[in-house]
Amino acid sequence: MIPELGNFSLMLALALSLGLTIFPALGVRSKNMVFMRTGSSLALGVFLFMLVSFFCLLYAFVNDDFTVTYVANNSNTALPLPYKISAIWGAHEGSFLLWTLIMSGWTLAVAVFNRSLTTDITARVLAVLGGLNVGFLAFLLFASNPFERSLPFHPQDGADLNPLLQDFGLIVHPPMLYMGYVGFAVPFALAIATLTAGRLDSAWARWSRPWTNAAWAFLTIGITLGSWWAYYELGWGGWWFWDAVENASFMPWLVGTALVHSLAASEKRGVFKSWTVLLAIAAFSLSLLGAFLVRSGVLTSVHAFAVDPLRGVFILVFLILVVGGSLFLYAFRGGLSKNRANFSWQSREAFILSNNLLLVVSAAAILIGTLYPLFYEVVSGGAKISVGPPYFNAVFVPLMGVLFLFMIFSPFSKWGDTNLRLVLSENKWWILSVIIGVVITSFFLGDNVFFKGLLLKFLAALILFFLFKNLLQRKTKLSASYTGMFLAHSGIAVAILGVVVTTYYSEGKDVRMEPGDKLDLSGYQFEFFGVEKVRGPNYLADQGEILITRDGKKVAILRPEKRFYPVAQDVMTEAAMHVTPFRDLYIALGEPVGEKAWAVRVNVKPFVRWIWFGGLLIALGSFITLFDGRYRAIKEKKARLFSAEVAT
Binding site for other proteins (CB under 8 A): 162, 164, 234-236, 297, 300-307, 340-345, 353-354, 357-358, 361, 364-365, 368-369, 372, 376, 382-388, 390-391, 394-395, 398-399, 510-512, 562, 569-573, 588, 590-591, 593-594, 599, 601
Give min distance, CB of 3 to other proteins, in A.
23
Best CA proximity match to 369, nearest among 253, 241, 261:
241
Give min distance, CB of 313 to other proteins, in A.
16
Distance of alpha carbon 525 from alpha carbon 553, whole angstroms? 10
With beta carbons less than 8 A apart as the criterion, state whether 189 and 25 touch. no
CA angle 337, 343, 345 (to 5 degrees): 125
Q: For other proteins, give the closer residue by CB, 320 or 383.
A: 383
Give min distance, CB of 170 to other proteins, in A.
13
Q: What is the DSSP string of 16-51?
A: HHHHHHHHHHHHHHHT-HHHHTHHHHHHHHHHHHHH
Packing angle, helices 202-233 and 168-183, rounded to 10: 160
Give min distance, CB of 411 to other proteins, in A.
22
Q: For other proteins, give the closer residue by CB, 63 or 569.
A: 569
Q: For other proteins, give the closer residue by CB, 129 or 572.
A: 572
Residue 447: φ, ψ to 5°: -105, 155
Distance of alpha carbon 617 from alpha carbon 531, whole angstroms? 40
With beta carbons less than 8 A apart as the criterion, state whether 232 and 579 touch. no
Give min distance, CB of 172 to other proteins, in A.
19
With beta carbons less than 8 A apart as the criterion, state whether 66 and 76 touch. no
CA dihedral 234, 103, 287, 141 (to 10 degrees): 80
Strands 540-550 vs 518-521: parallel, antiparallel or unpaired: unpaired
Residue 346: φ, ψ to 5°: -105, 5
409 DSSP assignment: T
Distance of alpha carbon 25 from alpha carbon 19, whole angstroms? 10
Q: For other proteins, give the closer residue by CB, 112 or 306.
A: 306
Q: For other proteins, give the closer residue by CB, 44 or 571.
A: 571
Give min distance, CB of 300 to other proteins, in A.
5
Distance of alpha carbon 240 from alpha carbon 388, whole angstroms? 12
Best CA proximity match to 411, nearest among 465, 359, 355:
465
With beta carbons less than 8 A apart as the criterion, state whether 251 and 363 touch. yes
Give min distance, CB of 117 to other proteins, in A.
32
Based on its alpha-carbon atoms, the radius of gyration of the chain, rounded to whole angstroms, reads: 27
- Return the amino acid letter for 50: M
Q: For other proteins, give the closer residue by CB, 300 or 433.
A: 300
Q: What is the DSSP string of 289-319?
A: HHHHHHHH--S--TT-----HHHHHHHHHHH
Helix (H, G, I), strand (E, B) or coil at 532: strand
Q: For other proteins, give the closer residue by CB, 377 or 527.
A: 377
Give min distance, CB of 339 to other proteins, in A.
11
Give min distance, CB of 102 to other proteins, in A.
23
Spacing of C-alpha 535 from chain mean position: 35
Q: For other proteins, give the closer residue by CB, 82 or 388.
A: 388
Distance of alpha carbon 196 from alpha carbon 28, whole angstroms? 11
Distance of alpha carbon 283 from alpha carbon 280, whole angstroms? 5
CB neighbour list of residue 520: distance below 8 Å, 6 or more residues apart: 526
Give min distance, CB of 562 to other proteins, in A.
8
With beta carbons less than 8 A apart as the criterion, state whether 211 and 187 touch. yes
Give min distance, CB of 236 to other proteins, in A.
5
Q: For other proteins, give the closer residue by CB, 20 or 164.
A: 164
- Return the amino acid letter for 214: A
Give min distance, CB of 361 to other proteins, in A.
4
Distance of alpha carbon 23 from alpha carbon 38, whole angstroms? 7
Q: For other proteins, give the closer residue by CB, 343 or 607.
A: 343
Distance of alpha carbon 236 from alpha carbon 243, whole angstroms? 15
Q: For other proteins, give the closer residue by CB, 375 or 582.
A: 375
Q: For other proteins, give the closer residue by CB, 365 or 438.
A: 365
With beta carbons less than 8 A apart as the criterion, state whether 195 and 244 touch. no
Q: For other proteins, give the closer residue by CB, 168 or 236.
A: 236
Q: For other proteins, give the closer residue by CB, 21 or 356.
A: 356
**153, burial (CB in 10 Å: exposed 0-12, middle 13-18, buried 19+):** exposed
Give min distance, CB of 564 to other proteins, in A.
10
Give min distance, CB of 500 to other proteins, in A.
21
